[in-house]
Amino acid sequence: MIRATSGQKKIALAVTGGIAAYKAVEVLRALQRGGCDVRVIMTTDAQKFVGVTTFRTLSQHPVLTDLYDYSESPTPHVDIADWADLFLVVPATANVIAKISAGIGDDALTSALLAAHTPVLIAPAMNTHMWNNPATQANVHSLMCRGYHFVSPQSGLLACGYTGNGKLAEVDEIVSAACKLLDQSFRSASQEAQDLSGQRLLITAGPTHEAIDPVRFLANASTGKLGFTVAAEAARRGADVVLVAGPVSLETPCGVRRVDVISADQMLEAAESAFKSVDAAILTAAVADYTPVMCADHKLKKEHEPLVEIKLKETTDILATLSAQKRNRIVIGFAAETNNLLQNAQAKLERKGADMIVANDVSRADSTFGADTDRVAFVSKTGIEQLETLPLVAVANAVLDKTLQLLKAR
């Protein structure tokens, strides 16, 4: 049976076959300096980059490389999963990410990850084309939706000679993320899982479609992914959630009551109705600022009704409307900007009367509409807090943490 020194936080460090495997040595040493007990699992390919002896000497434990030749246990993949407080995959190749996503356990490392029942933190590193490949991105998104955590790769000069996203995150960033997850997992399980219990939240998500005629509309690029993620995490943490969703192709999160709308007027009506019985509103939706003055009752034909001009009028501002009605309720708005991010967010905070604005620069590839990561700043009367680029699940929980702070401070 695998055992550890009493009181130490225990990390299973999974090392896969990439050139960045040598960085896993630095991660191990940094975790040890932080008081962690670290055991290492390696793939066969990983051993071609860094030797088993290195990790065995530094960790002072046998290294798990084979399911059938491990003296400490006849079922090492299960025992190390029971032992670990956290699994950390550094570096994570596209191949191993795909295996984890598909639930494949065909060696010691993937079998241990399949048996894992504590948090898993993945730090990818690979060629930029491999990272940007739709298959890899789909696997990463799937794992995020299932609760896996990621430290996103950086952009820079790669070992293969390319420049782009795919470079392993800095050691300090990986270790910081691991320590944060460890601290969270060491909280009371009931407190961690149900800290929003009893709170009623309204969340809006997605775009709105403003009809020009029965087949055409004005819209924006919002996908609703962040709003749906916030709703899913809020429900997981015990909140009673009403999700007012614009026209998006996303499944309803478990435990969430969903109201589907199309236009800005419909979203306003649904949001005002739900707002009467909630404690806080988190308005992630990218509501259209303008709508056509008139909607034709038939498809306009370009031969005799060309769309050379569309007269528009402003839609009702949902954020300002709910903020004016909030009394002791909390209202959080979002600002998607392409320039002067913080200045525009601060102006929006004052103009709309919200409690906080979550600002993100949608001109960045890592925080644009539809991305699996986001880089946001929290702007409130007490100041500005800039977050690093994080997976959507992490951003969602950071927003909910802020929401809970504001609710407690009422």
Within a domain: 268: yes
3-class secondary-structure state, position 291: strand
Task: Select from 131, 160, 189 the last residue of a domain.
Answer: 189
Q: Is 160 a catalytic residue?
A: yes
Please check whether residues 31 and 133 belong to one and the same domain.
yes
Output the DSSP codes for 70-95: -TT-SSHHHHHHHH-SEEEEEEE-HH
Instruction: Look at residue 195 and tell me if it is in a domain.
Output: no
Final residue of a structural domain among 168, 189, 210: 189
Structure tokens belonging to residue 65: 């490389």
Tokens 């960790």 locate to: 59
Question: Do residues 264 and 397 both lie within one domain?
Answer: yes
Q: Does residue 291 lie in a domain region?
A: yes
- Please tell me whether 334 is known to bind a ligand: yes
390: phi > 0 → left, psi -120 to 50 → alpha, else beta; which? beta
**What distance in Å separates the CA atoms of residue 134 and residue 144, rounded to the nearest whole number?**
15
The angle that helices 392-408 and 134-145 make with each other, rounded to 10 degrees, is 30
Please tell me whether 183 is known to bind a ligand: no
Q: What per-residue confidence (pLDDT) applies to 406?
A: 96
What would the two tokens of residue 28 be? 């191990």
Q: Binding site annotation covers 10? A: no
In whole angstroms, what is the distance from residue 151 CA to residue 119 CA?
A: 13
Q: Could you tell me the CATH number of the domain that includes residue 100? A: 3.40.50.1950
Question: Of the candidates 248, 198, 252, which has an alpha carbon nearest to the alpha carbon of residue 229?
Answer: 252
- 289 is annotated as contributing to ligand binding: yes
**What would the two tokens of residue 232 be?**
């899913």
User: Looking at residue 255, what is its pLDDT?
Assistant: 87
In a shared domain, residues 122 and 265: no
Question: Measured between alpha carbons, how far is 389 from 393 in angstroms, rounded to an integer?
Answer: 12
Q: Which residue, of 189, 210, 227, is where some domain finishes?
A: 189
Residues with Cβ within 8 Å of residue 321, at least 6 apart in sequence: 268, 272
CATH code of the domain containing 207 = 3.40.50.10300
Query: In this structure, are 149 and 222 located in the same domain?
Result: no
Sign, CA dihedral 384-387-392-394, equals negative
Same domain, 18 and 65: yes
Give the pLDDT of the chain (410 residues) as one tens digit per residue. 444 444 568 999 999 999 999 999 999 999 988 888 999 999 999 999 999 999 999 999 999 999 998 777 889 999 999 999 999 999 999 999 999 999 999 999 999 999 999 999 999 999 999 999 999 999 999 999 888 999 999 988 888 888 888 999 999 999 988 988 887 665 434 344 578 999 999 999 999 999 999 999 999 999 999 999 999 999 989 999 999 999 998 889 888 999 999 999 999 999 999 999 999 999 999 999 999 999 988 988 887 777 778 899 999 999 999 999 999 999 999 998 888 889 999 999 999 999 999 999 888 877 788 887 888 999 999 999 998 888 888 899 999 999 999 999 88
**Among residues 36, 145, 160, 179, which one is catalytic?**
160
Check whether 195 is labelled as a binding-site residue: no
Tokens 């590193």 locate to 125
Counting the structural domains of the chain, the total is: 2
27 and 107 inside one domain: yes
Range of the domain at 221: 200-409
